[in-house]
Chain A
Amino acid sequence: MGLLTPDPGLLFWMVVTFGVVFFILAKYGFPVILKTVEDRKAYIDNSLKAAREANEQLANVKVEGEKILAQAREEQHRILSEAAVTRDRIIKDAQEKAFAEGNRLMEEMKKQIETEKESAIRDIRRQVAVLSVGIAEKIMRNRLADEKEQTALIDRLLDEMIETSKK
């Protein structure tokens, strides 16, 4: 058998062996490898996409965060100024109230003082009247001891009364 004549035995075994090898590799070998590679490619693509989206989201979050922060600051400012206004108003109210109350008290005090003053004055007048009547009595008694003097006084008093009645 020359080199160029294929040997039937070897031919037979080659067909069998290559058939088996081809069957196994074509069914369980290369498809797995190729599929894995394709899946991996898809996975990498997806990962890249996801990473890009995440990046974008992160940027968005940053912007959003800043926005929220600015809003919070504004709110804080607003609340503070409101609080200041409220405080001022409360103080002012309190002041006004206190002022009014003070005034009212003062007024009352004045009235009371006035009343008391008047009653005191009345008291004093009464006493002065009593005293002056007493004093007048004494003086009268002293003066009216002599007759002359009594008639003189009656005359003068009469004059005076006439004069007042004239008027």
Chain B
Amino acid sequence: MAVPAALTKAQAAEGDIDVNELVFGHIGDAYQWHIVKFGDTEVSIPLPVIVKSSTGWHVFSSARLEEGPYEGLYVAKGGAYDGKIVERNAAGEEVRPLDISITKNVLGLFINSAVLLVIMMSCVRWYKKHPLEDGAPKGGVGMIEATVLSIYNDVIKGCIGENYRRYAPYLLTAFFFVLVNNLMGLIPIFPGGANVTGNIAITLVLALCTFVLTNVYGTKAYWKEIFWPDVPTWLKAPIPMMPLIEFFGIFTKPFALMIRLFANIMAGHAAVLSLVAIIFITVKSGPVINGSMTVVSVAFDIFMNALEVLVAFIQAYVFTMLSAVFIGLSQVKEHAEK
């Protein structure tokens, strides 16, 4: 979590530090990847901006936006589109063009995905190189194998039941994707530190995948339980109370998935950053208080980071497990013997 960045930024601000902006600046997205600030020099990686505005496609480095409007585009300050690239329409109102820029989160997403692919593919290469007689892998490959197997056997097989093979690739991908993104988010400096899984767009896509897999392959019994559940008839006949509740359940389940992952990771990032900010808030209170608070802050930071490592795994595990459970629920069979 961009702690060094926060440190130097705060030092530069010398006391009057806007914790709100610091924390939310990190948690949100940005058009460049800010790394550190030495004195007055900002060290950041400019990222490509890709925008389709009313004047067509624009592709340029985000460094161009530092000085002001570029090709009619600029970063909005305040308003509905705070921090995003906007343009002014004929009426003079700020509007958002189609914006598929490679932002900090997108680059983080790319890097983390590359890390994940490299890890997995190097494991696969190990398997291709070694014949079966060599036995089980050791070290890193062994660790990945053990993790894959524990997810596969305990979570996927256990929660889905009969057709688990069909869903295994998605659930394993989701698990490792979330896990790698969570862990990379904990590394304070580039190339880690992007708040990827703490962004609702990311968790939305993941939850959507689970939603699609749950409902597209849902069995007849699954749909019957939604629209005509086994409850007293007055609960479903004139006013379809239970069916309505069950129907909303279809959407609330993945929605909960989305919010749970997003909120957990975002809150973790926010907590660590807020704890770091204590150091800079207490600067004004004199050296004694500032010094003792620094010790407290670092101690809490270490604790929080350790906790976040745990949370990174737990959230990946919970996401996978709940996805498996939802998919498993959609695979129910008719209760023949009743």
Residues on A lying within 8 angstroms of B by beta carbon are 1, 3-15, 17-18, 20-22, 24-26, 28-34, 36-37, 39-40, 43
Give the nearest-CB partner of B137 in chain A: A36
Taking A21-B173, A25-B120 as given, write out 16 further A-B residue pairs in contact, using a Cβ cutoff of 8 Å, ordered by the A residue number.
A1-B83, A6-B204, A10-B103, A10-B105, A10-B201, A11-B204, A24-B121, A26-B170, A26-B173, A28-B124, A29-B120, A30-B120, A32-B128, A33-B148, A36-B127, A39-B132
Nearest to B204 among chain A residues (CB) is A6
B200 at the A/B interface (Cβ < 8 Å)? yes
Is B305 interfacial (CB 8 A cutoff)? Answer: no
A6 x B124 contact (CB < 8 A): no
Chain B residues with CB under 8 Å of A11's CB are 201, 204-205
A-B contact pairs, 13 of them (CB 8 A): A1-B81, A7-B99, A8-B98, A8-B99, A9-B101, A10-B103, A10-B106, A18-B209, A25-B176, A30-B120, A30-B169, A31-B169, A33-B145
Of the stretches B110-118, B229-237, B276-284, the one at the interface is: B110-118
Chain A proximity of B204: nearest CB distance (Å)? 5
Query: How many pairs of residues, A versus B, come closer than 8 Å at their CB atoms?
Result: 118
Nearest Cβ in chain B — how far from A154, in angstroms? Answer: 143
- Interface SS of A by simple majority: helix
> Closest approach, in angstroms, between the C-beta of B305 and any C-beta of chain A?
22
Write the B65-107 contact mask toward A (1 if CB under 8 angstroms, else 0): 0000000000000001111100000000000001111110110
Supposing A3-B27, A8-B98, A10-B201 touch, asked if A18 and B177 sit within 8 A by C-beta, the answer is: yes
**B152 proximal to A (CB < 8 A):** yes
Tell me, rounded to whole Å, the shortest Cβ–Cβ distance linking B154 to chain A: 14
B200 & A17 in contact (Cβ 8 Å cutoff):
no
Contacts of A30 in B (CB 8 A): 120, 148, 168-169, 172-173
A9 touches B205 (CB 8 A): no
Interface residue? B32 (CB, 8 A): no
| Shortest CB distance A40–B (Å) | 5
